Amino acid sequence: MSGGVDSAVAAARAVDAGHEVVGVHLALSRMPGTLRTGSRGCCTIEDSLDARRAAEKLGIPFYVWDFSERFRADVVEDFVTEYSSGRTPNPCMRCNERIKFAAVLEKALALGFDAVVTGHYAHIVTDAVGNRELHRASDEAKDQSYVLGVLTTEQLAHAMFPLGTTPSKAVVRAEAAERGFTVAQKPDSHDICFIPDGDTRGWLADRIEPVEGAIIDRSGATVGSHDGATSFTVGQRRGLNLGVPAPDGRPRFVLEVRPRTNEVVVGPLEALAIRELAGRRFTWAGLDPVASGITQADPAGAVAHAALTDAASADTGAAVSPSTDLAATDALLPFDCHVQVRAHADPVPAVAHVAGGELIVSVREPLLGVAPGQTAVLYVGTRVLGQCTIDRTVSADEPARAAAGASAAPAADSAPGDSAAPAADQAAASATLVGSAAL
C-alpha cells in the first residue's frame, strides 16, 4: 500500500472478496522525506501515514517492510548503471521484477501468505486448467500491463490485481470516496519515486561524473560537443546545442549514446526509426508461446542449442542438466504479435522469433526512439506474452543485419535525408519479412 488511492481500493476489494488481508507499506529509502512534494505518491512518511490510515479504515493489520537495501541495489543502482552504460532503464519495471513481485512476494510466501495484491491496472485471466495469463486492463488509458510484463509464470501465480477490470480510474476514485478513504482525490504519481524533484538529468549528474565529449553524426564527423554522454537519451532533440547545422538544415536527434567512447551520435528523425530490436534477457508471462500454441520450437535452433550444451559440458566436465523451459523457447519459429516499448506507447504489429538465445522482434510499422535498456513487451491481442530488455536495435535505414554483421554499422551511404519516414518503414517491414523467411 503506497499511500495512493489505487492500492487502498485494491486492498478493500481483497477484503470484500473474503481474503485475510494484511496491509504492507514498503520502506524503500532509509531516509524518507517527511512530506509529500509535487505529484509523487509514495516514499514519504506522509504517504506511509496515508497508507496506514486506509488500512485502519479497513480494519486490517498494517506493517512497514523495509526493502531499502534491495531497492537501492536492484533499482536505484541498476538505474545509474544502466544510464552510465548508455541505456535507458525503466525503474518501475525493475521494481516490479525484483522488489514487489520478488523480494516482497518471496517474503510474503515464506511468512505464510498466498499472494501479493497491488493496485496495478492489469487483468489476470485463468484458463480452464488453471494457467494464468496477464492481460491489459479494461481501462486502456490506465492500463499498466506493460510494467508488469516482466512477471514470470511463478510470479503471476501469486499476484492479484483487483482493479484490472474496472472501467476507469474515476470509478476507483468514486469507490475510494464512498469507502471514506482520505486519499480518494490524491493526485496520481508520475515521477520516478526516488528522484524527488523530477529532475532526472540533474540527479544522474550527481552520480555519474559527466565528462565532456563529442557529438558526432553517423559518418563519424564531429558536429558538436556535450558535457556528459550519459545524460542523453535516444530520441532526444532538445539540449544538443549543435554548432554545425545539418547539411539539409533539418533538426537532429540523438540516435545512440556510446558511453565507452563518450560519444553521442545524432541524425535525422527518420534514422530513429528501427526495424528490429533484440535482447537476451527475455521472459514469458504465463505459458510460453509454444505451450500457448502461438508458435513452435525451431528444430534447427534446438539442435544447435543441444550441440552447444554438449560442448559446454564436455569442456568443463560438469553435468549440465537440460532445462525444459530453456529448451522449449531457446529457438522459436517466427510468430505475429504486437510490441510495446514504453509504458504509454502504442503497440505496433511485429513478428518475433527466438534464435541463439536472443528474442528478436521485427516491427511492421514505424517505431521511433527505441533505446537499449528499454523493455519491449510482446502482446497477442490483450494478452501479455512476455518481454525482453532491449540489448540492440537495427535502424530502418541500415542494411540487413546478416549483411552488416553488426548492429552499430554506420549507414552513411543510405542517404535517408529525403526519404519520408513511412517509406523507410515500409522498407523495414519488407526487410523483416525476408529476414524471417530466411530464418
Partner 1 sequence: MIYLDHAATSPMPLEVREAYVEALQLVGNPSSIHTAGQHARAVLDDARVRIAATLGIDAIELTFTGGGTEAVNLAIKGLYWARNAAPSTDARPRILVPRTEHHAALDTVEWLEAHEGATLTWLEVDELGRLSLDGLEEALGDGSDVALVTMLHANNEVGTLQPVAEAAALAAAVGVPVHVDAIAAYGQVRLDPLPHGVSAVSISAHKIGGPVGVGALALRRGSEVVPLLHGGGQQRGRSGTMDAAGAAAFAIAAERAHAELDDRAANKRMLRERLAAGIRQTVPTAVLRGAAGAAAVATELAHSAAASDPARAASHLARAAELDALALPGTLHFTVPGAEGDSLLMLLDARGIAASTGSACQAGVPEPSHVLLAMGLSEADARGALRITLGPATTVDEIDALLVALPEAVERAQAAGLAGQVPRLGRLP
Question: Which residues are designated catalytic?
Answer: 95, 193
Residue numbers 126-185 binding partner 1 by CB under 8 A: 150, 152, 154-155
User: Distance between CA atoms of 233 and 436, rounded to whole angstroms?
Assistant: 30
Q: How many CA atoms lie within 13 A of 336 on its CB side?
A: 4
* By the rule CB under 8 A, 66 interacts with partner 1: yes
> Do residues 15 and 56 touch, judged by C-beta distance below 8 A?
no
Contact pattern for partner 1 over residues 235 through 274, marking x by CB under 8 A = ----------------------------------------
* By the rule CB under 8 A, 102 interacts with partner 1: yes
Alpha-carbon distances, residue 291 vs 159, 287, 299, 339 (angstroms): 21, 6, 15, 20
Contact pattern for partner 1 over residues 210 through 229, marking x by CB under 8 A = --------------------
**Span from 98-106, 294-302, 359-367, 418-426 in contact with partner 1 (CB under 8 A):** 98-106
Interface residue with partner 1, options 19, 65, 302, 433 (CB under 8 A): 65
Interface residue with partner 1, options 55, 67, 354, 361 (CB under 8 A): 67
* By the rule CB under 8 A, 197 interacts with partner 1: no
Q: Of 70 and 258, which has the nearer Cβ to partner 1?
A: 70
The 3-state secondary structure of 65-129, one letter per residue: EECHHHHHHHHHHHHHHHHHCCCCCCHHHHHHHHHHHHHHHHHHHHHCCCCEECCCCEEEEECCC
Which grid coordinates are listed for 261?
567512447
Task: Classify residue 327 as exposed, middle or buried by CB count within 10 Å of its CB (0-12, 13-18, 19+).
Answer: middle
Contact pattern for partner 1 over residues 371 through 390, marking x by CB under 8 A = --------------------
User: Distance between CA atoms of 328 and 296, rounded to whole angstroms?
Assistant: 9
**Span from 108-116, 294-302, 338-346, 411-419 in contact with partner 1 (CB under 8 A):** 108-116
Q: Of 140 and 154, which has the nearer Cβ to partner 1?
A: 154
User: Distance between CA atoms of 274 and 424, rounded to whole angstroms?
Assistant: 9
* By the rule CB under 8 A, 312 interacts with partner 1: no
Q: Which residues contact 417 (CB under 8 A, 6 or more apart)?
A: 247, 248, 250, 268
Residue numbers 281-300 binding partner 1 by CB under 8 A: 281, 283
* By the rule CB under 8 A, 107 interacts with partner 1: yes
**Span from 110-118, 192-200, 244-252, 431-439 in contact with partner 1 (CB under 8 A):** 110-118
**Span from 19-27, 217-225, 245-253, 305-313 in contact with partner 1 (CB under 8 A):** 19-27
User: Distance between CA atoms of 115 and 17, rounded to whole angstroms?
Assistant: 14
Contact pattern for partner 1 over residues 23 through 52, marking x by CB under 8 A = --x-x--x-x------------x--x---x
Phi-psi region of 2 (alpha: psi -120 to 50; beta: other; left: phi over 0): alpha
> Do residues 298 and 331 touch, judged by C-beta distance below 8 A?
yes
* By the rule CB under 8 A, 105 interacts with partner 1: yes
Q: Of 148 and 394, which has the nearer Cβ to partner 1?
A: 148
In 3-state terms, the chain is what percent helix, strand and coil (to 5)?
Answer: 35, 20, 45
Min. distance of Cβ 321 from partner 1 in angstroms? 13
User: Distance between CA atoms of 30 and 50, rounded to whole angstroms?
Assistant: 19
* By the rule CB under 8 A, 103 interacts with partner 1: yes
* By the rule CB under 8 A, 77 interacts with partner 1: no
> Do residues 130 and 15 touch, judged by C-beta distance below 8 A?
no
Min. distance of Cβ 9 from partner 1 in angstroms? 22
Per CB under 8 A, residues contacting partner 1 are 22, 25, 27, 30, 32, 45, 48, 52, 61, 63-70, 97-98, 101-103, 105-107, 110-112, 150, 152, 154-155, 281, 283
